[in-house]
Amino acid sequence: MTETKVYFDEVTPEMISTFTEQDGFYTFKSWEALKVSCATDYGDYDLVELTPELYNEMLDSGVFEGHEPD
**Quick one: DSSP state of residue 69?**
-
User: Rounded CA gap, 68 and 70, in Å?
Assistant: 6
pTM of the model: 0.89
pLDDT digits (tens, 9 = 90+) for 13-67: 899 999 999 999 999 999 999 999 999 999 999 999 999 999 999 999 999 999 8
User: Rounded CA gap, 17 and 69, in Å?
Assistant: 11
pLDDT at 70 over 60: no
Residue 69 has a pLDDT of 63
The CB density around residue 13, as the number of other CB atoms within 10 Å, is: 9
Q: Which residues contact 54 (CB under 8 A, 6 or more apart)?
A: 7, 48
